A = this chain, B = another copy of it.
Amino acid sequence: MGRTSDVRQKILDAARPLIEGRGYTALGVAEICKAAGVPKGSFYYFFESKEALALAVVDEHWAAQQRDWARALGGDGEPLQRLRRLFEETEAGRLAAQQGCGTVSGCLFGNLTLELSNQAEAVRGRLQEIFDAQVDMVEAVVAEARDRGEITATDTREAAQAVVAQLEGQMMFAKLYNSTGRLSPLWDNCRALLGATGSH
């Protein structure tokens, strides 16, 4: 079984950067297997379809990102400081990735939303769950800040949605202009969207 799960993981590891770089539609199973260094025949032993692979890539990516978000948002410090940490870590992560491969690849979930959500209902459903969970995580911190009287926003759900939308929008422009500098205003924009009253 050791070797079996190894092949599955090789396929996943090869697929993620390919999907990030070129999207889902442009990729073929043969190309993914070649990049993974596994026989093409093994693909359908592990994945029912290319869509099933995409879902597995999305799940694995979200599991990792969810841990990062939970660490940033759930650690020590005042709520707005933790939210700020999330944006700073996001920008730093994109910069490190750009220095590795030369390009800003954007957000995997945002990319797949615009490429696929109107074509693959299973992918749409999974991406909805992920963005709902992101909004939940941001909303919890926003509600804390509101209870402490640090922001003027009262509808914490709508405020959290606006913050995540701003993140996706600026991530889109970071990709388009191949510049992580586009992410630098995220914290000031977030403060404005929340109506932050102090100088956190």
> Which residues in A have some Cβ–Cβ distance to B below 8 Å?
21-23, 25-26, 103, 105-106, 110-111, 113-119, 124, 127-128, 131, 153, 158, 161-162, 164-170, 172-173, 175-178, 182, 185, 188-189, 192-195
A113 touches B172 (CB 8 A): yes
A166 touches B172 (CB 8 A): no
- A86 → chain B closest CB, angstroms: 16
Cross-interface CB contact of A166 among B111, B166, B177, cutoff 8 Å = B166
- A164 → chain B closest CB, angstroms: 7
- A46 → chain B closest CB, angstroms: 24
Question: 5 extra interchain contacts, Cβ-Cβ under 8 A, other than A118-B178, A192-B193?
Answer: A165-B172, A165-B173, A169-B169, A192-B192, A192-B195
Contacts of A124 in B (CB 8 A): 176
A128 touches B177 (CB 8 A): yes
A21 touches B118 (CB 8 A): yes
Beyond A106-B114, A111-B114, A192-B195, is A162–B176 a contact (Cβ under 8 Å)?
Answer: no
Cross-interface CB contact of A193 among B116, B164, B189, cutoff 8 Å = B189
B115 touches A23 (CB 8 A): yes
A9 to B146, CA, bound (A): 54
A119 to B172, CA, bound (A): 15
21 of the cross-chain contacts (CB-CB < 8 Å) are A22-B119, A25-B25, A25-B26, A110-B114, A110-B172, A113-B114, A114-B114, A114-B175, A117-B175, A153-B192, A158-B185, A161-B185, A162-B192, A165-B170, A165-B173, A167-B169, A168-B173, A169-B170, A169-B172, A192-B194, A193-B193
